[in-house]
Chains A and B, each alone.
Chain A
């Protein structure tokens, strides 16, 4: 029986198709009681190769050519009497597999090839300056990889269609920022916020680190852990939108900030295994997080007096759609404008422009030109379609937006 205090053997699988790979991951976690875990090659202590697959034979040949430095377990129907490998006959029997693990572990310890535990360290995180976690999360990488194919369609949150907010429901859904009267122009000009003072800032920093390191990470706060999967551009959070909305609006003071850390993903505490519906597309997640942080304010980094540009249309079918978001995008696609100009031209409240810009800015979709010449850019006039067509198009819009 596995001693809970014993670190699992870190194994890399070679030459297996997706289904076999997934089966092996589950086999190690289940019947093998976690004696071994599947990790990336670079973190592995042992190679496990299915030589009944051509790719497995190829992998074994390459390992032999390089020279065997760590234990190799070969899974096959036939014992080909290979030298310097641990053979496990297929169909695999649990006792044989565990014995092979034990043998491999002994060799690893003797040779001093033991790798550090992936969950050894925890690193504090600040929204401004994030330091990558030590260790690795590759065991989860393997588990994630194994899930990808068949489970992709069960990630309902990731693929669900957009929710479209109308003006009447906007404030109640988004929440109101106390102390800002959007009917007062002076207050409108100052209605900014700093994302780095909120959960949004920490999430963005953690995403950046995860992307740069190309490693899965877990952002730990006083709330629930957020798991970041850079390879598939996904996040996992065991919370519904209502809970996230509430947490997003909390300003993180310095004391709270010091409690935020990023670590390797811990499957034992994250609970990621059984809840595929908690996976979100990373962009859609950032988008709504920014909306709930903004609540109608604009990011402090944007100069309200300078035009903003948009790189391309957001993926609106998978994003929370704020009032007039499509119109604002269509206008900005034609050329840069200041946020207040957009508000004026489209005759929409400034907070609708601000909240959209906040979400698009969080994704890096909008920016401001740095050159002085661009600031002098005169926004192009809208070229409306013919009056006859306009009436027709408006009717189509009305139909699309009102029909159930």
Chain B
């Protein structure tokens, strides 16, 4: 059986692990370790390999949810991880110094994968920092020639993560209809 995957990526602390946890049917396998470098200024533990969750579908199929390690030194894993991926969920932390730079970095890093599939962007921590606004993200994206879905997301809230994934799926095919 094919390995169907949705990839979650983004910088350290953007909520990838939490987002996967929100929609996974099984307790996700976390590979967190105590943060030891600059990461520790943002969170106590960070993902050093990858996170993994599963969505069980009707008919016994499974969707594998993979979260990339946020730290850039693990970017060698990203290409391998995306093989067979349905699409990309990019989570951005709005409290970071330059979320636009983060966005550009990840969109460029995954450009080939995005070209073949699609991407949806979730902006987290907007209740702590409401700037940049979602509108400003769209302006940046338009400058890059992209019309990507961008939603404010609380990674702990299943509905937020679910809507983001739904937007990704409809971006892949607007004619898609729900199969219950």
Contact = CB atoms under 8 A, between A and B. Distances in A.
B8 to A, nearest CB: 14
Given A317-B159, A326-B170, A329-B170, A382 B175 contact: yes
Size bracket, chain A contacts: 35 or more
A400 B180 contact: no
Given A333-B147, A400-B162, A346 B178 contact: no
Contacts, number: 139
A299 to B, nearest CB: 21
A395 to B, nearest CB: 4
Contacts of A399: 55-58
A316 B175 contact: no
A30 to B, nearest CB: 27
B165 interface: yes
Given A233-B133, A393-B173, A396-B63, A313 B150 contact: yes
A152 B127 CA distance: 6
A400 B167 CA distance: 11
B175 A400 contact: no
Interface residues of B, number: 49
A383 B118 CA distance: 14
A246 interface: no
The prevalent SS among residues of B at the interface is: mixed
B55 A397 contact: no
A340 B83 CA distance: 39
Interface in B113-165: 122, 126-128, 130, 133-134, 138, 141-142, 147-154, 157, 159-160, 162-165
Nearest to B117: A385
A161 B157 contact: yes
Interface string A361-404: 00000000000000000000011110001111111111111100
B111 interface: no
Contact of B175 (A232, A329, A384, A391): A384
Interface of A: 152-153, 155, 159, 161-162, 164, 232-233, 311-313, 315-318, 321, 326-327, 329-331, 333-334, 345-346, 382-385, 389-402
